[in-house]
Amino acid sequence: MSGRMSGASVDLRSKELLLEQTLADIVRFPPMNYEAVIGLEVHIQIKTKSKMFTRVAAGYGHDANTLTDPVVLALPGVLPVMNKAALDAIVKAGLLLGCDIAPVCKWDRKNYFYPDSPKNYQISQYDQPICLGGTVEIELPGAARNIQGEHKRIPLTRIHLEEDVGKLNHGASDSLIDYNRAGTPLMEVVSEPAMQTAEEAFAYLTALRMAMVYAGISDCDMEKGQLRCDANISVRPVGQTTLGTKVELKNLNSISFVRDGIAHEIKRQIGVLNAGGAIPQETRDYDGQTGASKSLRSKEMAHDYRYFPDPDLMPVKVDETWKARLRAECPELPFDKQRRFYERYQIPYTITAVLVPDQELSNFFEEVVKLTGAGLAQSVGNWVVNDLLRELGTAKIPLSASRIGPAHLAELVKLIDGGTLLNNAAKEVFSDMFQTGDLPTRVADRKGLMAETSTAELDQWCREAIAANPKSLADFKGGKESALNAFKGPVMKAAKGKANPKLVDETLRRLLAET
């Protein structure tokens, strides 16, 4: 080939070379199937009256630096004193998630300089977290919205207790610090690197949040910073057992940013690897607005926190009696409730998926079922999820502000079941009692919506209907059961829709038998 030295052949040869090079690249870097490995570190503010180590109130939305005292501001000479309510809350969280509770709550100092940390160390738990192990049960998205997805348990590494830091507000030429948040009890829930997809991470966070809200441990409002999430993400070729280099993704400050940020990071890492690059261990900052991330610091710049036991705080024993008391305060977990609603009342997923995430709503449902009996639970469920929620949504009020109590709905469902209230009438009664707070019987009486029960009048209408339709009479007598329906329309019409259909049915059969 070297003999042909025309321009065209040179061109061809260079193309060949390019192809060879590309093929070589493909051999060296074959396009691979990658899988991601995700672990989450979730910080959750514990809802307590006072701060973690002092008596000043904890809260959100107050004027800057009003929730402070000498301890929060780390004035010379002050000392921390543990808030027992915060320890109660985290032990409860641990019991709820099946963690092992350490027999002793031990405190360590995590030393680092930053203006949001008044002492320039954070009181935290290093080598002996109060909760070890445990799992968070998650529900993955189903094939469709009304189909229940797969459930699985994400294992936890640990949960520990610490104090929150203040907040920096950066101006053009200076930065201001608000210490209101500083010292708020904070628990850090660390999962094992056991999730594979952004959807799993999303489901994990949703489930964790639901459990914490259920137990009254936190309101988990991400907008108020009550729940914050960092993700450790690595990718590896499918089949590889060792972990890839992890990247820590920070500032995932809404639940959808968590999903989007993780998805973006997985794509980015696979892209880097496919291009023959390597992933450096680093911390990246995700910007939810632009959907992009940038490097914050590399591993070399990682802090040496110089952890050591805090000499200002004595270890606190958590004994069996203490644990037993807290265990008694633990609520049923949402997914357990979902299963129970199905097993006990046969409430379908479409209803429980709405009912269960809302603790107040599911409690309301059970209050009503207590009054109606389990047999009417499905009907109760439908009314709560469809009608009650719609009315609440329209009125833009929470359930607690509603004028409809469990007794209202229970009576309504029983009236429908007894045939005294027809469906359309019941809808009208419901709307009315939502406005007035009157009980259904009263509304129905007031509005004349009760099904007709006077037998003399009904007998008369039925006789007329039978007499007016000899063909159907013959059909019925001839054994055609469905012919009965032909009489019902005229009867209902005569009753102006207020006849009890059960009663109509019975009366027609009685009279037909006599005819």
Partner 1 sequence: MSTELFYQSIPSLATALEAGKLSSVELVRSVIDRTKAVEPKIKAFNSFDEEDALAQARESDVRRAAGRTRGAMDGIPIGIKDVIAVSGQPLTASSRMLANFISPYDATVTRKLKGAGAICWGRLNLDEFAMGSSTENSAFGPTSNPYALDCVPGGSSGGSAAAVAAGEAIVSLGSDTGGSIRQPAAFCNLVGLKPTYGLISRYGLIAFASSLDQIGPFARSVEDAAITLGVIAGHDPLDSTSYRTEVPDYRAALKTRTGPWRLGIPKEYFGEGLDSEVGRAVEKAIAHYQSIGCEVKDVSLPHTEYGVGVYYIIATAECSSNLARFDGVRYGHRSKDAKDAIDLYFKSRAEGFGAEVKRRIILGTYVLSSGYYDAYYLRAQKVRTLIRNDFLTAYREVDAIITPTAPTPAFRRGTKADPLAMYLCDIYTIGVNLAGLPGISVPCGFSADGRPIGMQLIGQPYHEAELLAIAHAYERAHEWGQRRPAL
* Binding stretches for partner 1 (CB under 8 A): 70, 73-82, 109, 111, 113-115, 118-121, 175, 177, 304, 306-308, 311-314
Q: Within 72-220, where are the H helices? A: 84-96, 198-214
Q: Which residues of 295-308 are buried (b: 16+ CB within 10 A; e: fewer)?
A: eeeeeeeeeeeeee
Give the C-alpha separation, 213 to 485, whole Å. Answer: 52
Pick between residue 223 and residue 300 the one whose CB is nearest to partner 1. 300
Work out how close the CB of 130 gets to partner 1 at its nearest, in angstroms, rounded to a whole number. 16
Least distance from partner 1 to the Cβ atom of residue 45, Å: 22
Give me the least distance between CB of 163 and partner 1, in Å please: 14
Of the pair 288, 315, the CB lying nearest partner 1 is at: 315
Spatial separation of the C-alpha atoms in residues 511 and 203, rounded to whole Å = 60
Residues 162, 166: Cα–Cα separation, whole Å: 13
Shorter beta-carbon distance to partner 1: residue 42 or 71 = 71
Task: Give the residue among 299, 270, 330, 338 at the shortest CA–CA distance from 101.
Answer: 330
Rounded to the nearest whole angstrom, what is the least distance from the CB of residue 122 to partner 1 in the complex?
11
**In angstroms, what is the minimal distance from the CB of 384 to partner 1?**
48
Which sign, positive or negative, has the C-alpha torsion 476, 482, 484, 486?
negative
Of 117 and 191, CB closest to partner 1? 117
Which value, in Å, is the radius of gyration of the alpha carbons in the chain? 33
Nearest distance from C-beta of residue 73 to partner 1, angstroms: 6
Residue 7 CA to residue 2 CA, distance in Å, equals 12
Nearer to partner 1, 75 or 374 (CB): 75
Of 307 and 342, nearer to partner 1 (C-beta) is: 307
Shortest separation between residue 82's beta carbon and partner 1, angstroms: 7
| Residue whose pair of structure tokens reads 């469905």 in the numeric block | 482
* 179 vs 365 by CB, closer to partner 1: 179
- Region of residue 48 (phi > 0: left; psi between -120 and 50: alpha; otherwise: beta): beta
Minimum CB separation of residue 107 from partner 1 in Å reads: 9
Q: Which is nearer to partner 1, 113 or 289 (CB)?
A: 113
Closest CB to partner 1 among residues 117, 338: 117
Q: What's the min distance (Å) between Cβ of 318 and partner 1?
A: 16
Q: Which residues pair with 309 in a beta bridge?
A: 108
Beta-carbon contacts of 334 under 8 Å, excluding residues fewer than 6 positions away, are 207, 210, 211, 214, 356, 357, 359
209-238 burial, b at 16+ Cβ within 10 Å, e below that, comes to bbbbbbbebbebebeeebbbbbbbbbbbee
Q: How many angstroms separate the first and last alpha carbons of the chain?
A: 109
